[in-house]
Structure 1
Amino acid sequence: MQRTAFTNPIVRQRADPWVYKHSDGYYYFTASVPEYDRIEIRRSATIQGLGEATPVVAWRKHPAGMMSANIWAPEIHFIGDAWYIYFAAARTAETKDGLFDHRIFVLENPNPNPLEGTWEEKGQLKTGWESFALDSTTFEYRGVRYLVWAQQDPAIRGNSNLYIAPLRNPWTLGGPPVMLTKPEYPWEIIGFWVNEGPAVLRKNGRVFISYSASATDFNYCMGLLTADENSDLLDPASWSKSPRPVFQTSEENGQYGPGHNSFTVSEDGREDVLIYHARNYKRIEGDPLSDPNRHTRAQRLGWKPDGTPDFGVPVVDGPGLER
């Protein structure tokens, strides 16, 4: 069976893409911009239309202080009766920690249309200790709202591990962080020891968390955590970890370093859709984080007979067909 695919890239020069379909029928999109200096939102009635939608600047970095540099990986969520944006920010690059000085922050907007109204800073989301922290996402399951994020523990070798905790409100933890995974397999420790960019998907009696690993060049790839829906999501023993990447570079299709994904659904709600970024070339001059050409892409997410997601391989750019 063949299905019409998306015309990729969906949005050019937008990394760490987040797409959320709201109850109003619109898809809302935000991502890291190449300048790392602001947070944009755009919306469209279709996933494909996000590339042509006019971006609205929701917030700009501060001139100095902890929210003044390297604005990374925003996500937009509707919680209760307000909109929230989670993002990571650092101090100006002159600090001793340079790039890796991030903390997690939250914005709130009560306007029904997040492209309008005022975004209020709710401050830093304290995670229990002060260290490199980023890539927060949130989901509600069986009456409990959780936060999942990446953070460095100085006592553990590596750059970031994945943690989960309940939320008391959208900007405050309601319990201690629990580590779900740390970089350990060879494909998770190339260039950097990284587990980051979590995204949550609930289906077929299970809760899945995808995440990204290794440096942000062609080695960047995705892993998967799985828990039974009836298990305690705050118990690390509830989660199993794929020993191999579930999504990675396809030289044949010209897609390098796919990762930092989100999940959404098709316009008719019948199919799950994988949103991610990737580059079209393998070799990068200089620091990969300074290369702007991580483009947002979309493709259908399949399902295996055992009820687990089938990510397949990154598809070629341009209009085409998925099998």
Structure 2
Amino acid sequence: MTYKNLNLNLVLFTLLAFTACSKKSNGGNGTPLPRPDTAFINPLVQGSDPWVIQQDTNYFYTHTLGNRVALWKTGRMSRLAFAPQTNVFTPAAGGANSANVWAPELHRLDGKWYLYYTAGAGPDSTQRLWVAENESADPTTGTWTDRGRVFAAGSDFWSIDATVLEYGGSRYLVWSGRPSTTALNQNLYIARMVNPWTLEAQATMISEPTLSWERNGHPVNEGPQVLINPQGKAFLTYSASSCFTDDYALGLLSLREGGNPLNAADWTKSQQPVFVKNTAGNAYGPGHNAFFKSRNGAENWIIYHANTNTGEGCGVRRNIRMQRFRFDASGVPQFGTPVSAGTAVRRPAGE
């Protein structure tokens, strides 16, 4: 997001959140919290811009820290707060990627790990996309090599929040960017990848914030995330409106079956947001999500950040939550409503 907190630190926020939120959800009657081997309670941890990827029986999780990238390794996402943390990548001081390290994502491509992240030299105008590479089988070990900046000509005025789409035998990078040095609205762009650190020359804009719910506080489309349904149809969720508002929310783009991801006309935008605030449940500004499967592969889960109280904006009070979602009979994802803070949620199947 345009102004992400620069120094978010993972803390054992869960116990505090449990105490405060369970009193509200249980009417303050002292109802015992659920056993951790059967359920969990949102928020999981404090942070923003969550990302998770599964390898075998392990999940690797990360989120924005501001000055570095850390990974958390766990076999149970419901126990994320207790997972060990490993600092894996810190950009060199004083460089073009040394400040405002935002929204890291870990991807396994061509037998190696690639860490895509946003960073700059300090001023917001310098924010760009970067990637580092690791040949180790376990991304919490080995050596990370900085592969430099990732960009496509004609669209590199400002760029954040890169993710990878693999579709139809090709690989694409999708990100949020500005159309010029003077226009500050954020659009979504896509370009074909030549390799994990190189894009083809030209990028295509596939979404811009034209709808009213995408323009609260500021016209924003950011945080794109890939979702492929069981039939192979491709979707992109994205975060809309300014993160400073309570109305930060998720939108949805659908790719036409057999469509070309580089053809903007092949993407259809939902006219209404698909995941919005739940004020009664202390979930304000839900957005910048990722997806993962339950450990047994039978369930689909969304992980996202939100605020517990109104008016908390883009700062250190954002926290990480997760819940199950489903696909309807036509294959469209249905995310429902953000689960209320302090409510017991059945842990992902197989944990």
TM-score above 0.5, yes or no: yes
Residue 305 of structure 1: aligned partner? 329
Are positions 1:65 and 2:91 aligned together?
no
Question: Which ranges in structure 2 are unaligned for 5 or more consecutive residues?
Answer: 1-37, 347-351
Q: Tell me, in whole angstroms, the C-alpha distance in 1 between the residues paired with 2:79 and 2:203.
A: 38
Q: Tell me, in whole angstroms, the C-alpha distance in 2 between the residues paired with 1:157 and 1:188.
A: 16
Q: Letter of the 1:176 partner, please give it.
A: Q
Provide, for residues 183-206 of structure 1, a one-character-per-residue CA deviation record: whole Å limited to 9, x for no partner: 101111111211000000111342
Matches within 5 A, 1:125-204: 125-129=150-154, 130-154=156-180, 157-203=183-229, 204=231
User: Is the contact made by 1:223 and 1:242 (CA closer than 8 Å) also made in structure 2?
Assistant: yes
Q: Letter of the 1:207 partner, please give it.
A: A
Poorly superposed stretches of 4+, deviation over 6 Å: none
Cα offset, 1:13, TM superposition: 2.1
Cα offset, 1:267, TM superposition: 1.1
Q: Tell me, in whole angstroms, the C-alpha distance in 1 between the residues paired with 2:242 and 2:39.
A: 29
User: Is the contact made by 1:198 and 1:209 (CA closer than 8 Å) also made in structure 2?
Assistant: yes
User: Is the contact made by 2:74 and 2:84 (CA closer than 8 Å) also made in structure 1?
Assistant: no
Provide, for residues 68-126 of structure 1, a one-character-per-residue CA deviation record: whole Å limited to 9, x for no partner: 2111000001111110000000112xxxxx32420000000000011011110000002
**TM-score between both structures, scaled by the size of structure 1:** 0.90
Sort the Cα spacing of 1:51 and 1:132 in 2 relative to 1 into closer, same or farther, 3 A.
same
Q: Tell me, in whole angstroms, the C-alpha distance in 1 between the residues paired with 2:302 and 2:76.
A: 14
Matches within 5 A, 1:36-55: 36-55=66-85
Residue 76 of structure 1: aligned partner? 106
Residue 279 of structure 1: aligned partner? 307
SS of aligned partner of 1:307: coil
**TM-score between both structures, scaled by the size of structure 2:** 0.83
Sort the Cα spacing of 1:47 and 1:152 in 2 relative to 1 into closer, same or farther, 3 A.
same
Moved more, 62-71 or 105-114: 62-71
SS of aligned partner of 1:51: helix
User: Is the contact made by 2:251 and 2:274 (CA closer than 8 Å) also made in structure 1?
Assistant: yes
Q: Tell me, in whole angstroms, the C-alpha distance in 1 between the residues paired with 2:95 and 2:146.
A: 14
Are positions 1:320 and 2:348 aligned together?
no
Q: Tell me, in whole angstroms, the C-alpha distance in 2 between the residues paired with 1:281 and 1:123.
A: 38
Cα offset, 1:234, TM superposition: 1.3
Residue 17 of structure 2: aligned partner? none
Q: Letter of the 2:291 partner, please give it.
A: F
Q: Tell me, in whole angstroms, the C-alpha distance in 1 between the residues paired with 2:107 and 2:298.
A: 22
Cα offset, 1:301, TM superposition: 1.0
Cα offset, 1:156, TM superposition: 8.9
Quick check: which has more Rg, 1 or 2? 2
SS of aligned partner of 1:49: helix
Residue 25 of structure 1: aligned partner? 57
Q: Letter of the 1:320 partner, please give it.
A: A
Hey, which of these two has a bigger chunk of helix by percent? 2
Q: Tell me, in whole angstroms, the C-alpha distance in 2 between the residues paired with 1:205 and 1:65.
A: 41
Aligned match for 1:99, one of 95, 119, 124: 124
Residue 19 of structure 2: aligned partner? none
User: Is the contact made by 1:167 and 1:175 (CA closer than 8 Å) also made in structure 2?
Assistant: no
SS of aligned partner of 1:269: coil
> What is the percent sequence identity of the aligned residues?
38
Cα offset, 1:158, TM superposition: 4.2
User: Is the contact made by 1:227 and 1:238 (CA closer than 8 Å) also made in structure 2?
Assistant: yes
User: Is the contact made by 1:61 and 1:68 (CA closer than 8 Å) also made in structure 2?
Assistant: yes
Sort the Cα spacing of 1:56 and 1:132 in 2 relative to 1 into closer, same or farther, 3 A.
same
Q: Tell me, in whole angstroms, the C-alpha distance in 2 between the residues paired with 1:214 and 1:100.
A: 19
SS of aligned partner of 2:163: strand
User: Is the contact made by 2:48 and 2:63 (CA closer than 8 Å) also made in structure 1?
Assistant: yes
Residue 295 of structure 1: aligned partner? 319
Give the length in aligned residue pairs: 306
User: Is the contact made by 2:134 and 2:143 (CA closer than 8 Å) also made in structure 1?
Assistant: yes
CA RMSD across the alignment: 1.7
SS of aligned partner of 1:128: coil
Cα offset, 1:28, TM superposition: 0.8
Q: Letter of the 1:304 partner, please give it.
A: D
Sort the Cα spacing of 1:319 and 1:268 in 2 relative to 1 into closer, same or farther, 3 A.
farther
Q: Tell me, in whole angstroms, the C-alpha distance in 2 between the residues paired with 1:205 and 1:142.
A: 10
SS of aligned partner of 2:79: helix
User: Is the contact made by 1:19 and 1:27 (CA closer than 8 Å) also made in structure 2?
Assistant: yes
Aligned match for 1:7, one of 41, 47, 61: 41
Q: Letter of the 1:279 partner, please give it.
A: N
Residue 135 of structure 2: aligned partner? 110
SS of aligned partner of 2:63: strand
